[in-house]
Structure 1
Amino acid sequence: MCPTIVQLIPKPWLCLLQHMKYMDYSQVDIANRQTYNMTSSHAFFVVTDGHGSIDTLDNMDTRLEKGMIMFVPAGRTIVIEGSSELQYYRLELMVAELKEDKASRLSITGEKVQQGLPVLISDPDRLPLIELNYSPWSSCLKSLEQISRGQTAHDWLDQWEIQLRFQEWFRGLLRQNDPEFESPDDRARLQSSIRYIREHYDQPITVDDLAAEIRLTRSSYTRQFKEITGKLPLDYVNAVRLEHSKLLLQMTDDRLHDIAQNVGFNNEYYFGRRFKQYTGVSPGLYRRHHRQEVRVFAPYLEDFVLALGIKPVLQCSHRSWGRQHYLGMEDIPEFDVTRMDAGFNETNVPEFIMLNDGYKRWNLDRFEQVAPTFYMEHEGEDWRSILKSTADVLGKVNRVQDVIGAYEDKAVEAKKQLTRHMRGQTVAFLRISASEITLYGDQYGYVGPVLYHDLGLTPHFRVQQWASQSRRVGIGLEQLSMLEADHLFITFDNMDSAYPGEEQKLLESDEWRRLPAVKSGHVYEVDFMTWMNYGVISHGKKIDDILRYLG
């Protein structure tokens, strides 16, 4: 067998990621207790949610909670116990050790692989566990998610890319926890500066003054401030001011000029411009929506509007797909988005229009002159932020947590039930039309986040291999024959059909009939519009369908 490029060109102090796994204790059947015998490799445990404890079996018990990173050296046996909410990444490492007598050569082949962590380790058998920090935490999670998604890569270039991503994360971790680079005083002073902004947002504030107050240069202050908050200083100041202005708009009848002055803006015009940039609507419209029901037109966002208790004046429909029957809006007139001459009549003229990024496809921005128009900027997968933004501009903020909480409770209960029944059986989702077979990925899109994340179902490995970085991918009959998932969910798209039922011709093919899920009767057809949607009501209906077939 030919050696890999990694075996041919090893480098000193090169730490390699051997294995990475995401542990979710709501899926573990052994009393939420996991034992790890780290005989030959070091490991990092990065806690992303919940709480628990880590026991080294020598009466050294350490509490685990969200945001912690624990380093466990080789030679240690540990036990991790936690609540059903405990979730963490486990990263096992291999580090080639530099030979003292051969300063430019490393041996990493066969049984001669030396496990060690040169910077941190001298005698791992006697070294205690080390707690590490990573800031900003969102950057840490983003890096680990990218690394995790690439674990199924087979191409050596893709594998190399994952190692490079790991190296970048690992370097940042070591740098932040190296005493030579630590600046605890700077961090403490920055936190005090942030508190000052929150308490004195109504006063004149400049970046130069903030930096000078804690004895940092402007550039150093700005860089470190963004690392902690994710925002530039002035953007953070304005965000604090604008959040306070929202409360004043909701709770008082103060003039806009007075509100602007009270939250730290000297100019009413500038306040109004920044407010609209921040919220998507003007201050006056924001106040009006929080005090009275609004007549809203929100094509393909009706799910979110209805979830907040507001009925839109129109519901969108499509000449091939029809309307979203699952929303139950039989009494609401339809608006065909495929008709360029479609418009409003005197009974359904909206006072406010909400559009997602699909507006370009249907040329819906032609109605900007009819009513104030809000453009939703969040990606569909981030449905919680879409719901929050919808609630904010429509004056229904008080309902958001109830809606999200109800969905999450439903998903948790469904996940427990499915975990008991499925026991690792694999699942895939196909959208079938007359012209194409579309496989949906496990990370993105209408389906993957619900099936595989919220409900913890196991995607067939071809799903991750072909569509791990995509919302969906087209596949041919040859690829279809390789999709040996235990269960298939399918929906039919009739948009390209030349005659009724043409989209179902695939079911007559030999490739289809030979699929294991077809042979075993584990193919489940679901409603197109219900499943091709990002809304919270849609996601709840998906869970209902899945439980009906698999629960």
Structure 2
Amino acid sequence: MLDETVRLRPAARHELLSVAFVREEAFKERTAYLDARFALVAVTAGKGRLIVDGEGYELRQGSVQLLERGKALRFEAADGGVSFYLLGFEREDEGGSAEGLQLPPGALACTPFSQALLLLDALYRQRETEDELEAFENQVRFGELLLLLGKQNRSATYEARARRDVLHTVEEMQTNYAHPYTVDQLASSADMTRAKYTQLFKELTNQLPLEFLNGLRIEKAQQLLLLSQDKLVEIANTVGYNDEYYFNRRFKQEVGVTPGQFRRQRRDPNRAFAPFLEDFLVALEMKPIVQFYDRIWGRQEYLGLHDVPEFELSTGDWDELADYRPELIILDAGYRRWSLERCREIAPVFRLPSTGEDWRATLHAIAAVFGIQDRAAEAIKQYENKAGEARQSLLDALGGTMPSVAVLRISDLAVYLYGGRQLGYTGPVLYGDLGLREPELIGSLMPQERRVAIDPQTLTRLDADHLFITFDKREGEGRELLDSPEWKALPAVRNGHVHEMDFFAWMNYGVMSHLRKIEDVLRVFRIGAANKV
């Protein structure tokens, strides 16, 4: 009798698309864009660095990196140069991920490298074969290479999945902060032990799980205290505390004052520190006690705060910040990126609700903190009048036909195209308020994205009549793009319709920033030679 037939689990199939061998001379750089879904970089000699979306990885003989499409790459050769194979490949299932390979993106273990090198050399030698059998043999060799890497990197894949599962619980807590979570429940949700979950959570957030949850609750409580008339007990229940006394104690530990004191405090509008939010303070006729400064980006010159002292965030010198004696520190959702949690040791901290493109809601929230809601209403009215007048002026000046415009943020690492009328720093103003036209590329490439990195080939499809560009100094300005044939072939470039704009004024959601964008657009279309590159 035949044994019972068992259906085998199908394995993911991968197709090798390209094999290149790259030799980079000492201290030279190369920028690359991935056409394939995945790529392997295997270094055969020398050393250098690989920069992927701003994060650096060491390149040395024997190192292997797995990359995914959508990443901006830069290779930097060290003394003596660097040589490497670059392999591009796809999964048969377009929706697949690198995890289907049992390989995590990033650095991979590969020992002995000599075994991988034999396969790589053979793949390169046969890369141009037109013989069907030899081409099949090359795909088999590539499968052997993936198998070699997959067996050695299973544990790394597990770690990547575990981190993803922990991050999923973080997102769940951010959405349902009032839920009575326990660490055991969260660990079970992530399918790992309590100890492992707590370890990974601390690595990812720099906090223990329940510390993080309490921080979320206090953050929401601050917003309700200043933006609503709810009673303290109601606010405590809303954010997840059944005991008002415990809520008061936790709040004072986090903020420095009790909830009642926080609500009753009279705050001097001119003694606030609001990093990256100074735009809104200026719109409300306030002057911050100190303004943020970045050693690479500089400061927000367009706000005209020349007599306001500067505090460089990257130093983390909280004693220096304390010397300015701010009475309130206002932070937006990006405060963790800049490690600003310790600000609460200096003064009470108000964390704004996340409003994204809705700058009006942000303006109202800040105004409510200081009891100057009338100023917010007036600032919004003035903006809407200015935008309406500007739109009509453009229609009159351009004969009723609006040109198409696009915004590019350029750096050594990537060229970012900004999105349509609903999203991003610029679209709601240019396409929404002013009525300028979107190029077709925006609608087809990024209907629901704030921005997207585009490669040189995609750039050639950008047929905007005018380009507004700005350079990101933090990632290297990338002005070499302006000398490339792809750039010079663009219609806007050929017609002299490229306009360089202030980085901070255009990469900002604030009302003063938006007013500056409107002024810049009017200047461009009324005085054609202004700001041209």
Q: TM-score, normalised by structure 1?
A: 0.49
Is residue 464–residue 491 contact of structure 2 (8 Å, CA) maintained in 1?
Answer: yes
Number of residue-to-residue matches in the alignment:
293
User: Out of 372, 385, 388, which is 2:348 matched to?
Assistant: 372
Query: In the alignment, which residue of structure 1 is the partner of 2:92?
Result: none
- Quote the Cα distance in structure 2 between the aligned partners of 1:540 and 1:293: 22
Query: CA 1:305 to 1:274, structure 2 compared with 1: closer, same or farther past 3 Å?
Result: farther
Query: In the alignment, which residue of structure 2 is the partner of 1:465?
Result: 444
Q: Which amino acid aligns with 2:262?
A: L
Query: In the alignment, which residue of structure 1 is the partner of 2:474?
Result: 495
Query: In the alignment, which residue of structure 2 is the partner of 1:431?
Result: 409
Is residue 412–residue 478 contact of structure 2 (8 Å, CA) maintained in 1?
Answer: yes
- Quote the Cα distance in structure 2 between the aligned partners of 1:355 and 1:240: 16
Residues 333-412 of structure 1: matches in 2 within 5 Å?
333-341=309-317, 343-344=319-320, 347-412=323-388
Q: Which amino acid aligns with 1:512?
A: W
Query: In the alignment, which residue of structure 2 is the partner of 1:109?
Result: none
| Correspondence 1:413 to 2:392 | no
Shift of 1:496: 2.0
User: Out of 249, 254, 277, which is 1:301 matched to?
Assistant: 277
Query: In the alignment, which residue of structure 2 is the partner of 1:310?
Result: 286
| Correspondence 1:483 to 2:451 | no
Query: CA 1:387 to 1:505, structure 2 compared with 1: closer, same or farther past 3 Å?
Result: same
Structure 1 residues 37-75: Cα deviation after superposition (integer angstroms, max 9, x where no partner): xxxxxxxxxxxxxxxxxxxxxxxxxxxxxxxxxxxxxxx
Structure 1 residues 436-461: Cα deviation after superposition (integer angstroms, max 9, x where no partner): 11000012111111111111111101
Query: In the alignment, which residue of structure 2 is the partner of 1:284?
Result: 261
Shift of 1:244: 5.0
User: Out of 408, 412, 418, which is 1:440 matched to?
Assistant: 418
Residues 43-442 of structure 1: matches in 2 within 5 Å?
243=228, 282-289=259-266, 292-293=268-269, 295-341=271-317, 343-344=319-320, 347-420=323-396, 421=398, 423-442=401-420
Shift of 1:347: 4.0
Shift of 1:243: 4.5
- SS of aligned partner of 2:509: coil
Query: CA 1:534 to 1:241, structure 2 compared with 1: closer, same or farther past 3 Å?
Result: closer
- Quote the Cα distance in structure 1 between the aligned partners of 2:227 and 2:308: 35
| Correspondence 1:451 to 2:430 | yes
Query: CA 1:294 to 1:427, structure 2 compared with 1: closer, same or farther past 3 Å?
Result: closer
Is residue 286–residue 395 contact of structure 1 (8 Å, CA) maintained in 2?
Answer: no
- Quote the Cα distance in structure 2 between the aligned partners of 1:449 and 1:281: 39
Is residue 226–residue 369 contact of structure 2 (8 Å, CA) maintained in 1?
Answer: no
Structure 2: 5+ residue stretches without partners: 1-223, 237-242, 527-533
Query: In the alignment, which residue of structure 1 is the partner of 2:500?
Result: 525
Shift of 1:424: 3.5
Query: In the alignment, which residue of structure 2 is the partner of 1:516?
Result: 491
- SS of aligned partner of 1:488: strand
- Quote the Cα distance in structure 2 between the aligned partners of 1:294 and 1:362: 23
- Quote the Cα distance in structure 1 between the aligned partners of 2:392 and 2:227: 41
- Quote the Cα distance in structure 2 between the aligned partners of 1:346 and 1:430: 38
Q: Which amino acid aligns with 2:299?
A: R
- Quote the Cα distance in structure 2 between the aligned partners of 1:459 and 1:273: 52
Is residue 335–residue 342 contact of structure 1 (8 Å, CA) maintained in 2?
Answer: no
Is residue 296–residue 354 contact of structure 1 (8 Å, CA) maintained in 2?
Answer: yes
Shift of 1:520: 0.7
- Quote the Cα distance in structure 1 between the aligned partners of 2:275 and 2:225: 32
- SS of aligned partner of 2:385: helix
- SS of aligned partner of 2:406: strand
Query: CA 1:314 to 1:484, structure 2 compared with 1: closer, same or farther past 3 Å?
Result: same
Query: In the alignment, which residue of structure 2 is the partner of 1:70?
Result: none
Residues 7-18 of structure 1: matches in 2 within 5 Å?
none
Is residue 294–residue 351 contact of structure 1 (8 Å, CA) maintained in 2?
Answer: no
Shift of 1:285: 3.2
Is residue 352–residue 362 contact of structure 2 (8 Å, CA) maintained in 1?
Answer: yes
- Quote the Cα distance in structure 2 between the aligned partners of 1:296 and 1:240: 18
Query: In the alignment, which residue of structure 2 is the partner of 1:152?
Result: none
- SS of aligned partner of 2:315: coil
Structure 1 residues 422-447: Cα deviation after superposition (integer angstroms, max 9, x where no partner): 61421111011112110000121111
Structure 1 residues 247-273: Cα deviation after superposition (integer angstroms, max 9, x where no partner): xxxxxxxxx99xx9xxxxxx9869989
Query: In the alignment, which residue of structure 2 is the partner of 1:474?
Result: 453
Query: CA 1:398 to 1:512, structure 2 compared with 1: closer, same or farther past 3 Å?
Result: same
Query: CA 1:284 to 1:241, structure 2 compared with 1: closer, same or farther past 3 Å?
Result: closer
Q: Which amino acid aligns with 2:405?
A: V
Query: CA 1:273 to 1:418, structure 2 compared with 1: closer, same or farther past 3 Å?
Result: farther
- Quote the Cα distance in structure 2 between the aligned partners of 1:445 and 1:283: 37
RMSD: 3.5
- Quote the Cα distance in structure 2 between the aligned partners of 1:528 and 1:242: 32
Is residue 426–residue 506 contact of structure 2 (8 Å, CA) maintained in 1?
Answer: yes
Query: In the alignment, which residue of structure 2 is the partner of 1:549?
Result: 524
- SS of aligned partner of 1:406: helix
Q: Which amino acid aligns with 2:412?
A: A
Q: Which amino acid aligns with 1:477?
A: P
Structure 1 residues 163-209: Cα deviation after superposition (integer angstroms, max 9, x where no partner): xxxxxxxxxxxxxxxxxxxxxxxxxxxxxxxxxxxxxxxxxxxxxxx
